[in-house]
C-alpha cells in the first residue's frame, strides 16, 4: 500500500501535491460546512489535520469516523490557515478501514491517568504519551548499537536459559518441563532434575555477564543487549521482573577505563535522543516534567563525580539527614541514599566505587585492603543506580577462594574459571538497565510506563 507517513508531510517539499495518508483518528470536530479530523499514524507525535468539505462528503459518510477509527485519505497537502499546524490535507477521497465504537473504545478523552493506561497496555501505544515514549525507546536502542559498533565492540548474544546464577542473589525464575503436579523424586525425597529437560535445574538469566566475559577474553570488546529476568519481589517504580540490559565487557580494561566508558556511553545516548527525538521529549517535558530538557543537558555538560563508597557513606553519615534506612559502613545503599548524594549533595551524577565485598557479587576484583572490591555504580538524579559494574577478579586463586567462601557450587562454574586458567587478563564491564535509561530520558517516573508490556509481581497481562 502506498502511503506518505505523517512525519514526512511536515518536511515542506510535498506542499501542493496529492498525498495518501493512513492512520488512526484522534478527534473529529467541525460544523455543517466543514469537518476537521486529527489523524495520527505513529510516525510522529504530531497529528495532521484532514479537512473534509461537506460539499464533497456527506454526513453519513463521515459519521463512522470517531476517535480510534482507522482511515485512508487521498487529498492535497496545503498550507494551513488554522493556528497550531503548518500543513493540512484537503480530503478528496475517503476509505474507512475500521470503526471504533465510541461506547466501547477506552481511549476516548485526553488526559487518562497513567494508572488507567497501564490497565489498557494493549491500546496505550496509541496515546501521545506512549507513542512518544516508545519512539524514544526505539531511538535509544539504536543509539546503543551505534555507540558500540562505532567503537569496535562486537554484539554478543548470551543465553537466556542458564544453569548459573551470575549475581548470586538467587532471584531467578526456574525453567522446567517437569510436571509440577507429579515431580520425579530421588530416594532422599528431593526433586530428580536428571529427568528435567536439560538434565539439571535451569533458570532465566539475571545477567549475560559471565558469558560476556568469555566473549571479551576472545574478541577483546563485546556488548550484550537483551532481556534479563529477576524474581525479586520488589514492587517499586524502578524494578521490573523482565527488563533489558546492555552489558559491555572489555579485555585489558581497568576500573578507570570502565568509568570513562560508562560516562561516554550514557552521554552519547542522551545526546542522540536530544538530537533525534526532540519533538517527543518536548511533549513529555510539557506534560510530565518541566525540567526534563534542562536536566538532560545538565548531564551532558557536567563531569560525573567519582568517589569511593567509604567517602560516600561518610558524607551521608555527616549530613544529619534522617533516612528511612540506616546508613553505616557496610550497609547496602538504598535509593534514598543514592539520590541524596546525587540530588542534594553533589547535584551531579555520581560514580561510587570500591564497595565492601560483602554487598557485591563474587566476580569483582578484590582491592589491596582485602575488604573492598573494584565495583562501580553510576547514580543518577531521579533514578538512583542506573549502571552497575566492576573490574573483574582475574586471579584464578582469588576468584576460586571467593567462590568457596560464598558456597557457590564449583561444578557449575568450571567453564567460567577456565577464563582465569588459560590466558587470563585484566578486564572490566558493566550493566546498564535499559528501562532506567528510558525513564531518565523521557522524564517518566514509573518503570512500568517505559516498556510496552511490563512484567512485575502479580502482573503478566498482555
**Residue 240 binds which of ligand 4AD, Mg ion, none (CB < 5-8 A, kind-dependent):** ligand 4AD
Q: How many CA atoms are closer than 13 Å to the CA of 131, on its beta-carbon side? A: 16
Closest CA to 76 of 5, 12, 7, 15: 15
Nearer to ligand 4AD, 230 or 420 (CB): 230
Q: Tell the smallest beta-carbon distance from residue 443 to ligand 4AD (Å).
A: 17
Task: Please state, in angstroms and as integers, the Cα–Cα distance from residue 220 to each residue in 197, 254, 363, following that order.
Answer: 34, 13, 19
**Residue 454 binds which of ligand 4AD, Mg ion, none (CB < 5-8 A, kind-dependent):** none
Q: Tell the smallest beta-carbon distance from residue 40 to ligand 4AD (Å).
A: 30
Nearer to ligand 4AD, 247 or 393 (CB): 247
Does 388 contact Mg ion by CB under 5 A?
A: yes
Task: Please state, in angstroms and as integers, the Cα–Cα distance from residue 280 to each residue in 78, 135, 142, 200, following that order.
Answer: 24, 8, 16, 47
SS3 383: coil
On whether the CB atoms of residues 380 and 349 are closer than 8 A, the answer is: yes
Residue in the structure block whose three cell numbers are 543506580: 385
Q: Tell the smallest beta-carbon distance from residue 233 to Mg ion (Å).
A: 17
On whether the CB atoms of residues 24 and 41 are closer than 8 A, the answer is: yes
Nearer to ligand 4AD, 41 or 211 (CB): 211
Q: Tell the smallest beta-carbon distance from residue 268 to ligand 4AD (Å).
A: 17
Nearer to Mg ion, 75 or 433 (CB): 433
**Residue 209 binds which of Mg ion, ligand 4AD, none (CB < 5-8 A, kind-dependent):** ligand 4AD
Q: Tell the smallest beta-carbon distance from residue 135 to ligand 4AD (Å).
A: 21
Among the residues of 200-242, which ranges form H helices? 209-219
Closest CA to 413 of 423, 428, 402: 402
Strand residue runs (E) in 107-207: 154-155, 161-162, 174-175, 202-204
| Site residue total, Mg ion (CB under 5 A) | 1
Q: Tell the smallest beta-carbon distance from residue 221 to Mg ion (Å).
A: 22
Q: How many CA atoms are closer than 13 Å to the CA of 445, on its beta-carbon side? A: 8
**Residue 435 binds which of Mg ion, ligand 4AD, none (CB < 5-8 A, kind-dependent):** ligand 4AD
Nearer to ligand 4AD, 94 or 451 (CB): 451
Specify the stretch interacting with Mg ion by CB under 5 A; choose among 46-54, 234-242, 363-371, 380-388.
380-388
**Residue 374 binds which of Mg ion, ligand 4AD, none (CB < 5-8 A, kind-dependent):** none
Nearer to ligand 4AD, 100 or 333 (CB): 333
Nearer to ligand 4AD, 317 or 385 (CB): 385
Length of the chain: 462
**Residue 420 binds which of Mg ion, ligand 4AD, none (CB < 5-8 A, kind-dependent):** none
Does 429 contact Mg ion by CB under 5 A?
A: no
- Please give the Cα distance from 167 to 158 (Å, whole number): 15
Chain centre to alpha carbon of residue 179: 35
Q: Burial-class residue 137 by CB neighbours within 10 Å (0-12, 13-18, 19+).
A: buried
Q: Tell the smallest beta-carbon distance from residue 394 to ligand 4AD (Å).
A: 15
CA-based torsion, 324, 328, 330, 333: positive or negative: positive
Q: Tell the smallest beta-carbon distance from residue 316 to Mg ion (Å).
A: 18
Nearer to ligand 4AD, 254 or 385 (CB): 385
Q: Tell the smallest beta-carbon distance from residue 201 to ligand 4AD (Å).
A: 20
On whether the CB atoms of residues 325 and 316 are closer than 8 A, the answer is: no
**Residue 239 binds which of ligand 4AD, Mg ion, none (CB < 5-8 A, kind-dependent):** ligand 4AD
SS3 13: coil
Q: List interacting residues with ligand 4AD (CB under 6 A).
A: 166-167, 207, 209, 230, 239-240, 243, 245, 247, 385-390, 429-431, 433, 435-436
> Which DSSP letter does residue 410 get?
G
On whether the CB atoms of residues 335 and 384 are closer than 8 A, the answer is: yes
**Residue 40 binds which of ligand 4AD, Mg ion, none (CB < 5-8 A, kind-dependent):** none
On whether the CB atoms of residues 141 and 124 are closer than 8 A, the answer is: no
Residues found near Mg ion in the complex (CB under 5 A): 388
Amino acid at each position: 500500500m502506498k502511503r506518505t507517513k505523517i512525519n514526512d508531510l511536515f518536511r515542506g517539499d510535498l506542499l501542493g501535491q496529492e498525498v495518501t495518508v493512513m492512520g488512526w483518528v484522534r478527534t473529529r470536530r467541525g460544523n455543517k460546512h466543514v469537518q476537521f479530523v486529527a489523524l495520527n499514524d505513529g510516525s510522529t507525535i504530531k497529528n495532521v489535520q484532514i479537512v473534509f468539505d461537506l460539499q464533497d462528503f456527506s454526513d453519513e459518510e463521515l459519521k463512522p469516523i470517531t476517535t480510534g477509527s482507522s482511515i485512508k485519505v487521498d487529498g492535497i497537502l496545503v498550507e494551513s490557515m488554522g493556528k497550531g499546524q503548518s500543513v493540512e490535507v484537503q480530503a478528496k477521497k475517503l476509505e474507512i478501514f475500521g470503526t471504533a465504537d465510541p461506547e466501547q473504545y477506552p481511549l476516548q478523552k485526553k488526559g487518562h491517568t497513567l494508572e488507567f493506561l497501564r490497565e489498557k497496555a494493549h491500546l496505550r501505544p496509541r496515546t501521545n504519551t506512549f507513542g512518544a515514549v516508545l519512539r524514544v525507546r526505539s531511538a535509544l536502542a539504536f543509539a546503543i548499537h551505534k555507540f558500540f559498533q562505532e567503537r569496535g565492540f562486537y554484539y554478543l548474544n548470551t543465553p537466556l536459559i542458564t544453569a548459573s546464577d551470575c549475581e548470586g542473589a538467587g532471584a531467578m525464575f526456574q525453567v522446567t518441563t517437569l510436571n509440577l503436579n507429579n515431580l520425579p523424586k530421588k530416594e532422599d525425597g528431593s526433586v530428580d532434575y536428571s529427568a528435567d529437560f536439560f538434565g539439571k535445574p535451569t533458570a532465566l538469566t539475571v545477567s549475560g555477564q559471565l558469558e560476556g566475559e568469555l566473549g571479551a577474553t576472545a574478541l577483546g570488546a563485546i556488548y550484550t543487549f537483551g532481556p534479563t529476568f529477576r524474581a525479586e519481589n520488589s514492587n517499586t517504580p524502578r524494578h521490573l521482573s523482565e527488563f533489558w540490559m546492555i552489558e559491555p565487557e572489555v579485555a585489558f580494561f581497568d576500573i578507570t577505563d570502565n568509568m570513562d566508558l560508562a560516562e561516554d556511553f550514557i552521554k552519547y545516548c542522551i545526546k542522540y535522543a536530544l538530537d533525534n527525538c526532540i519533538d517527543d521529549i518536548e511533549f513529555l517535558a510539557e506534560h510530565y516534567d518541566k525540567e526534563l530538557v534542562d536536566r538532560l543537558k545538565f548531564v551532558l555538560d557536567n563531569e560525573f563525580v567519582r568517589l569511593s563508597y567509604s567517602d560516600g557513606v561518610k558524607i551521608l553519615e555527616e549530613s544529619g539527614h534522617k533516612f528511612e534506612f540506616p546508613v553505616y559502613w557496610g550497609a547496602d545503599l538504598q535509593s534514598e541514599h543514592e539520590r541524596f548524594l546525587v540530588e542534594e549533595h553533589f547535584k551531579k551524577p555520581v560514580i561510587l566505587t570500591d564497595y565492601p565485598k560483602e554487598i557485591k557479587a563474587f566476580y569483582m576484583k578484590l582491592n589491596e585492603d582485602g575488604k573492598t572490591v573494584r565495583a562501580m555504580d553510576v547514580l543518577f538524579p531521579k533514578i538512583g543506580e542506573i549502571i552497575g559494574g566492576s573490574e573483574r577478579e582475574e586471579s584464578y586463586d582469588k576468584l576460586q577462594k571467593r567462590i568457596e567462601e560464598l558456597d557457590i557450587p564449583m561444578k557449575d562454574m568450571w567453564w567460567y574459571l577456565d577464563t582465569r586458567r588459560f590466558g587470563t587478563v585484566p578486564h572490566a564491564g558493566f550493566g546498564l538497565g535499559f528501562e532506567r535509561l528510558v525513564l531518565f530520558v523521557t522524564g517518566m517516573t514509573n518503570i512500568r510506563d517505559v516498556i510496552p508490556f511490563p512484567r512485575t509481581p502479580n502482573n503478566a497481562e498482555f
